[in-house]
Structure 1
């Protein structure tokens, strides 16, 4: 049997060219077959179609048509974040430019655990991460798989900076990954501060900090998962300074506002944080994953230092080879920085800022349509690009049923959020190509599926 062609090396581009055509054709065919934002039929139907396409997982003889068949089946059964009616989660459509760069990263296949596996990629990562760190007033920045890893790293660095222990304090709207991080790191359960308006209450935080002894890490949120709300960062930062507490800001969602001259002020106070979580596969339109953690004091990274002679031998480091092992919890790492760098350079601050402004404007328009419609109830005006609403007079069970009905029919993808003791439909607008007519169509669908 001849050796299959490789993607890298001098013959790689020639081997890839016809395969790319196959992939693009299969993506188009799968999208046409799906015909909407989500495959119809629910989990059983999707699994059955996927099982039929897959067949024998490991046959004795390979199938030369496997690439076309499986890519088409995956596209047919995918949730399409580029469809205006796919607005349930912080799951955005990636930029074509970023996806193309991601292909190059996969072909070159550098591994960012030692310089000799990724010479140019390690240099690129160093240059880009330091520039992004400066956006939050930080000294350094690590690349992660997303908000969960970034939050875990933030808690870990705080623990190590305080000699092995720290008490985490969060608001009730904080991301679940922070509680999990405390558990994983063997720390006490977080102290939870009330967030009566959806954001952390500074007065309650002041009382909590006054009661606590020992090192404390306060985790604020800039863009809650449920409603996209931003905690009062300046007030929280001032309290942390007064009580000697360390501050982490989970800006996985809201961090993209940094690119917008119109909305950047919403993140005032972010530069006071010791660490900041950012996710550019949200308001950055990157293929997953593109997480970051900025660190104000570069000395904190000493807590990640590890020594493995085959990767960062002391004499190699002394000779000038960069030590990459202490820049992640992972060993093998792909060069996710390439797609980020290409996007930043290709669109610039103004280009990215315009995308942020567009989705925030669409959210305002959707909120306006809901507020003016007698058949709907609006939770509040959007802070970023998330809008919560519900059919007027509907029970929580009816709200949940509307969402599942739309999912089952493949008509629309809406999320759900429980706030103030009630269940709300959630539309998270991350598609800059969504238009006002799409918003009206979404409301028409919800209205048509609401029991009377």
Structure 2
């Protein structure tokens, strides 16, 4: 039987129709599965079948999640014998429907309100299809050619939007965690360079490393802590700086900590500010932090993984004022540029600092290739083999344009402002802070008196019950030791009516939990 359907619009339920003249062999030759000149038409038909299945699933999605549990889903997946191939794409897609598509969490649904996952724009999906098939590797020129230059052009475009100047450079990464790690790596190496330069007897790394410190806000991303550990810093090397009531880094506390470290003989290798914290969407006071870093001679990093969407905003770019003074910036296009994962970058003010990530391998990027000015992106990256993820953003800008992307981000920020007013006026809830971006952290607060532990459990139950129903998905977090709920609004299709409906569901689930606890006399009530 041929491997692929002749008609790309064929129903994928059951066996595919025969495909005349295909190389897709009946003799079991595995070469029939390779993409090449002879199988190009098979590839087109196979992908069309897969896309048709996904399109029907997305079009028919009535809720963001089915509520399936790990215990329900795991046995079916564990029972699949991976050593016995089905040999039939239609059968494989039928199986995929059961083990993945049916129960996937769909971020495009307007009542998915949980994490920093955005619906994706169609031009980026086009880019994903192209880059996966061509399969360029962006580490060296001789594996990517035009892809190398296109990625570099997008880095220049992003650096210009940030305002870093003509000496800026950068590289695409797998995500914000990798970008923050690479920024800290560069900051560490620059700190070592300065310490050696200013010492009559250059100290060894073993003497410098224990004295390095990184300052970041208490609302900053955990990847700063993880990066410090991976870079060999001391367990207490990352110092948490207190935030104000809007969950922004307090500059008076930062100044005090910089002074304390200096007096203690410690070297602050970087201050990591945040433009869009994960929990609150808050933006640290970047101009004031830049002043303090400049005065102290400290590397200034801005984690704008979330807030980078403001770079394209027609109305809110001013919220990132001060980011142009950063030494390094993290951007996640797959958060607020509506790109599929992965699509991220680290951008630096001085491109020469990227040399700290350079290693020359004779078989890949020998030093002579740099002397010949061959553009090998691996010279800038802590990755080697790397997808051409930049193509997704390239096609998005070429088809939609930056203003359209920024307008989509503006719409979710506008929605968050309206939702904040809704929450602030609703006696059933307390909201932590007014959002700068599109995140809202709040807590169900019952009308009848209940202990803090009971309210904690009611909020936890409401989130779990909502997910189990599949009617909506919301996130949770802990604020000042108490459990809260969180909306992360990144879907321009979400409406205020969706927000109202989800709040009603949350309140009902929480009140049911409290009522049951009171009825049974549970201490939680």
The bucket for the TM-score relative to the shorter chain is: over 0.9
**401 and 105 in structure 1: CA distance in 2 versus 1, 3 angstrom threshold:** same
Contact 2:476–2:485 under 8 Å retained in 1: yes
Tell me whether 1:68 sits opposite 2:93 in the alignment: yes
- In structure 2, the partner of 1:148 is 177
- In structure 1, the partner of 2:18 is none
- In structure 2, the partner of 1:450 is 510
CA apart distance, 1:135: 1.4
Tell me whether 1:297 sits opposite 2:317 in the alignment: no
- In structure 1, the partner of 2:41 is 14
- In structure 2, the partner of 1:124 is 150
CA apart distance, 1:77: 1.4
CA apart distance, 1:61: 6.2
Give a deviation string over 1:166-196, Cα, whole Å, max 9, x none. Answer: 4211111111010111111011321211114
**6 and 136 in structure 1: CA distance in 2 versus 1, 3 angstrom threshold:** farther
- Which of 125, 134, 139 is the equivalent residue of 1:99? 125
CA apart distance, 1:448: 2.3
Q: Secondary structure at the match of 1:310?
A: coil
**25 and 424 in structure 1: CA distance in 2 versus 1, 3 angstrom threshold:** same
Contact 1:311–1:325 under 8 Å retained in 2: no
**Higher relative contact order (CA closer than 8 Å, sequence separation 6+):** 1
CA apart distance, 1:4: 4.7
CA apart distance, 1:340: 1.0
- In structure 2, the partner of 1:59 is 84
Question: What CA distance in whole angstroms lies between the structure 2 residues aligned with 1:57 and 1:215?
Answer: 51
Tell me whether 1:178 sits opposite 2:224 in the alignment: yes
Tell me whether 1:211 sits opposite 2:260 in the alignment: yes
Q: Secondary structure at the match of 2:405?
A: helix
CA apart distance, 1:317: 3.6
Give a deviation string over 1:220-266, Cα, whole Å, max 9, x none. Answer: 11111111111111111111112221110111001111111211111
**192 and 82 in structure 1: CA distance in 2 versus 1, 3 angstrom threshold:** same
- Deviates further, 19-28 or 422-431: 19-28
Q: Secondary structure at the match of 1:282?
A: helix
CA apart distance, 1:422: 2.5
- Deviates further, 224-233 or 374-383: 374-383
Tell me whether 1:356 sits opposite 2:403 in the alignment: no
Contact 1:390–1:424 under 8 Å retained in 2: yes
TM-score, normalised to structure 1's length?
0.94
CA apart distance, 1:18: 2.0
- Deviates further, 87-96 or 387-396: 387-396
- In structure 2, the partner of 1:80 is 106
- In structure 1, the partner of 2:64 is 37
User: How many positions carry a matched residue from both structures?
Assistant: 450
**12 and 122 in structure 1: CA distance in 2 versus 1, 3 angstrom threshold:** farther
Give a deviation string over 1:380-422, Cα, whole Å, max 9, x none. Answer: 2221001122222371111011001111222211011222333
Q: Secondary structure at the match of 1:167?
A: strand
- Which of 396, 406, 418 is the equivalent residue of 2:456? 396
What residue ranges of structure 2 are gaps of 5+ in the alignment? 1-27, 193-204, 447-453, 516-525
Question: What CA distance in whole angstroms lies between the structure 2 residues aligned with 1:382 and 1:415?
Answer: 16
Tell me whether 1:160 sits opposite 2:189 in the alignment: yes
CA apart distance, 1:13: 4.3
Contact 2:35–2:43 under 8 Å retained in 1: no
Question: What CA distance in whole angstroms lies between the structure 2 residues aligned with 1:24 and 1:323?
Answer: 34
CA apart distance, 1:26: 2.5
CA apart distance, 1:2: 2.6
Q: Secondary structure at the match of 1:293?
A: strand
- Which of 163, 168, 191 is the equivalent residue of 2:239? 191
**What is the alpha-carbon root mean square deviation over aligned residues?**
2.0
Contact 2:218–2:242 under 8 Å retained in 1: yes
Contact 1:307–1:325 under 8 Å retained in 2: no
- Deviates further, 330-339 or 28-37: 28-37
CA apart distance, 1:447: 2.2
CA apart distance, 1:9: 3.9
Q: Secondary structure at the match of 1:442?
A: helix
Question: What CA distance in whole angstroms lies between the structure 2 residues aligned with 1:97 and 1:50?
Answer: 33
Give a deviation string over 1:103-132, Cα, whole Å, max 9, x none. Answer: 100000011121111111111111111111
TM-score, normalised to structure 2's length?
0.82
Contact 1:389–1:425 under 8 Å retained in 2: yes
- Which of 38, 43, 46 is the equivalent residue of 2:73? 46
- In structure 2, the partner of 1:260 is 313
Give a deviation string over 1:133-184, Cα, whole Å, max 9, x none. Answer: 1211231121001110000001000111122644211111111010111111
Q: Secondary structure at the match of 1:98?
A: helix
**17 and 110 in structure 1: CA distance in 2 versus 1, 3 angstrom threshold:** same
- In structure 1, the partner of 2:250 is 201
What residue ranges of structure 1 are gaps of 5+ in the alignment? none
Q: Secondary structure at the match of 2:117?
A: coil
Give a deviation string over 1:63-105, Cα, whole Å, max 9, x none. Answer: 4435412442312111110111111100111112101111100
Q: Which has the larger radius of gyration?
A: 2
CA apart distance, 1:47: 2.4
- Which of 395, 399, 417 is the equivalent residue of 1:346? 399
- Deviates further, 172-181 or 59-68: 59-68
- In structure 1, the partner of 2:483 is 423
Query: What pairs with 1:214-363 in structure 2 (closer than 5 Å)?
Result: 214-363=267-416
Question: What CA distance in whole angstroms lies between the structure 2 residues aligned with 1:78 and 1:50?
Answer: 14
**50 and 192 in structure 1: CA distance in 2 versus 1, 3 angstrom threshold:** same
Contact 1:31–1:75 under 8 Å retained in 2: no
